[in-house]
Structure 1
């Protein structure tokens, strides 16, 4: 695991004050306050960067990043070090400061598990087919593909998160769509995504991949009109166009659809189009088909892993759907995947970046310099507790990315024994929060309190009327059962109306 560990507050205090003492001449009064006053040349009770002479300890002591150091900041560091507790600093605009090193999840995240009883009943049919389900909170519905490659939409009970009908197959949207890549027959074409939700001025609709009359994979759209499906073929490309990924951010413009094109998949390139201009693709240069990409839920940006010449791994990049400009957001070590932007209530509503690093932890980044060109700073690392039975992380999803829940940013994820998706696994929810020493870490799947392992697949969050739920497919070999489950998280909803 390459996750960085936070520097303890007492270490920061000791190192910084040692440097401070070394750079200042000793006066008759030998206290820290006396030495502080020597730097405070204009006697305003603060030390500016200029007054400090660009000393190397300045940024470590300037915990609220206002370009000034005052005695309160030193006192806070002293209290944090003396008490042995987590770092506490005076917030700037209700925004917690960040240490130079990213804060890490606590060594023992099991406290969030205490008193929690897993509740993950089967929804729909036991041994039913619910491939790659996607949930829309605003529509109160789920869309999924079945083993016969049909597209279904089902109504949900927002209070319980259960299906309104026994099967969830309430509206048949289309048939004979392209299968998802879960071990297709040898040589058969496949898509890397099942049906996905998006929204335009007419309401909700779903986008998926389906072959045209000539056997070329294209992008298609279906919507409910008076309870019936209306299907539209969007692209008419010469090359196979698959891996449908419609935009989620609503900004008054037509939805955008990203897709990969050309076949076989190792030849894949990527582009995106506006709903109403399918013949005007915008290319995504440097796209790496091996890593997950997606639209931001909180801005008109497409996020992807951009290959870097001479580097063993790519970096997270975003393509602005407004300008077409591509900006690389990260520059640190580690193989990155599953990028997402979210509004962090812990950081005064700043937009942060989350991604999966080395399939070992979630890394959180913040745009510190805000100059449009500097890499974002990694400010936190969210990891599973050391006693977690499965450690290979995949499929992270941000819960309520535009708001958070109750002032906290939460993420659902899948952890497995290894890369093979058929190995046993577990479903988890991690929280960012304001206190690195007390981050939320909770296992929520049905096998959490069982000794019988279960194969579980990609989790999908849904913010219900009063609780956050996470759905996932499961395969219990011992019981000979499979299907879709809805897991309670115990997280109560305090969301504003969206």
Structure 2
């Protein structure tokens, strides 16, 4: 595939902001406080839920054979895979506990292999990929493989893809116009990772990135490329770009620290150039853009560095969304470097990627309610973007016993402007 990143033309650095970014300067933004209250979506234990493509603010009631695209999916602790609706206006789950349609009784819970079901979006409609056990056999690492759920005639059908035993945690491309969706996934050893076409019997290809070991791996929208963490020659975790079409690998970060949690997208505020973010040493959120170096050669350079406040210094689970022509990154802000601990509180933060909107916002500033908030996801309703997350009382172990269910908070960005397509 043609590399879209290297083909971007050099941009003149017209502002001090871009000049500072090209030099990799630290551009810290002060903490701003959001005013919207937290709202409980459901008291039920709905963990690692994933939204269908309606979350981008483009509601399509007729899509997916009339089932629409405003949906969520998750797998529970009893190996059941569920699909429920999302009200595109209120953001409510329908039904509230997420148990709308029972799709499969042999799905691995997210807590078993570290990831639950993921949506696969293409010209074929919305499908689900997940870790699926063979029916009639005990759920073990030897009976798990790649599951695929599709709707046929308005009914869900499921299968375990052939030649996929001991393969887990698939992530699919999500391009509406694509006729050939791809998936990437891991072996049960959590070391090796692979990709293949989302088709039964497709050939498996190893992803050859140096030093990869169960780190971040994300498809780049609109491409067959993956941003993935590996190790450099010094043994530090860095971000690499892997091309599934050519097998080419490019190291994109060269930080003096460990880098994780990368995602890449086309940013409308930068003329739809690709940019990406990553987290350095678990504390600093960095945004990178291709700019000319001193010799006029394009290279990935930091244009924004956001350090978290002293009370919540650790970044975890960052993602992005686009709304009204602007990109926003949201994430957990943790007191503890161990992201999944329930013994110390965390908040939900958000930043933009332009000088005028890059102030770090705390979307959940209630310090009187000590809570652990984890795994944030976005959904753009008719009211604007909401951030959803699981909330726990900060005590005990990660179980339904101390879960307070799913909560959300309004980003305060407001509804889509009439002159712009929602989600764009």
TM-score by length of 1: 0.70
Partner in structure 2 of residue 339 of structure 1: 262
Q: Distance in 2 between matches of 1:249 and 1:355?
A: 23
C-alpha separation between the residues in 1 aligned to 2:182 and 2:229? 19
Q: State the Cα distance separating 1:300 from its structure 2 match.
A: 2.4
| Secondary structure at 2:336 match in 1 | coil
Could you say what secondary structure the match of 2:269 adopts? helix
Could you tell me how far apart the structure 2 residues matched to 1:198 and 1:481 are?
29
Matches within 5 A, 1:225-236: 225-236=152-163
Match of 2:271 among 337, 348, 365: 348
- The verdict on how the C-alpha distance between 1:481 and 1:316 changes in structure 2, with shifts beyond 3 A counting, is closer
- Could you say if the C-alpha distance between residues 161 and 104 of structure 1 is closer, same or farther in structure 2, counting changes exceeding 3 Å? farther
Of residues 238, 248, 252 in structure 1, which corresponds to 2:174? 248
1:109-258 correspondence runs (5 A): 109-110=31-32, 113=33, 116-124=34-42, 126=43, 128-138=44-54, 139-181=69-111, 190-212=112-134, 215-237=142-164, 240-258=166-184
Q: Deviations over 1:374-418 (max 9, x none)?
A: 64112211233x35x31111100011xxxx323321011011111
Indicate which of 341, 360, 380 corresponds to 2:304: 380
Q: 1:485 to 1:359 in 2, by over 3 A?
A: same
Q: Is the 8 A contact 2:106 2:134 kept in 1?
A: no
TM-fit CA distance, 1:474: 0.6
Is 162-171 or 470-479 further displaced after alignment?
470-479
Structure 1: tracts of 5 or more residues without a match:
1-62, 67-72, 77-86, 89-95, 182-189
Would you say the 8 A contact 1:65–1:97 is kept in 2? no
1:416 aligns with 2:334: yes
* Aligned residue number for residue 293 of structure 1: 217
Give the conservation status (yes or no) of the 8 Å contact 1:137–1:462: no
Counterpart-to-counterpart distance in 2, 1:458 and 1:235 = 31
CA distance in 1, matches of 2:172, 2:275: 21
3-state DSSP of counterpart to 1:439: coil
Give 1:481 shift: 4.9
Establish whether residue 442 from structure 1 lines up as the match of residue 358 from structure 2.
no
- TM-score of the superposition, structure 2-length normalised? 0.82
Going from structure 1 to structure 2, the CA distance change for 1:358 and 1:290 (only over 3 Å counts) comes to: farther
Deviation at 1:346, TM superposition (A): 2.5
Shift in Å at residue 299 of structure 1?
Answer: 2.8
One of 354, 365, 381 as aligned partner of 1:433 = 354
| Alignment match, 1:329 | 252
Would you say 1:65 and 2:7 are equivalent positions?
no
Equivalent residue for 1:315, pick from 231, 234, 238: 238
* Contact 1:136–1:197 under 8 Å retained in 2: yes
Unaligned runs of 5+ in 2: 1-9, 55-68, 396-400
Distance change >3 Å, CA 283–CA 216, structure 1 → 2: same
Q: Tell me how far apart the structure 2 counterparts of residues 450 and 308 of structure 1 sit (CA, whole Å).
A: 39
Structure 1 window deviating more from structure 2 (409-418 vs 326-335): it is 326-335
Report Cα offsets for 1:41-73 as digits up to 9, x if no partner: xxxxxxxxxxxxxxxxxxxxxx9737xxxxxx8
The DSSP-based 3-state class of the residue aligned with 2:92 is: coil
Paired residue for 2:229, among 305, 313, 331? 305
More strand by share: 2
Q: 1:262 to 1:151 in 2, by over 3 A?
A: closer
> How far off is 1:308 after superposition?
2.4
Cα displacement string for residues 196-232 of structure 1 (whole angstroms, at most 9, x for unaligned residues)? 0112332101110022367332111112334432102
1:153 partner SS: strand
Number of aligned residues: 381
Corresponding position: 1:274 with 2:197: yes
> 1:118 touches 1:449 (CA, 8 Å); kept in 2?
no
CA distance in 2, matches of 1:275, 1:136: 17
Give the 3-state SS of the residue equivalent to 1:346 in structure 2.
Answer: helix
CA contact (8 A) 1:209 1:218 kept: yes
Residue 314 of structure 1, CA deviation: 2.6
Change (3 A) 1:346 1:434: farther
Determine helix, strand or coil for the equivalent of 1:367: strand
The root-mean-square deviation of aligned C-alpha atoms, in Å, is 2.7
Secondary structure of 2:227's match?
A: strand
CA distance in 1, matches of 2:26, 2:238: 21
1:275, CA displacement in angstroms? 0.9
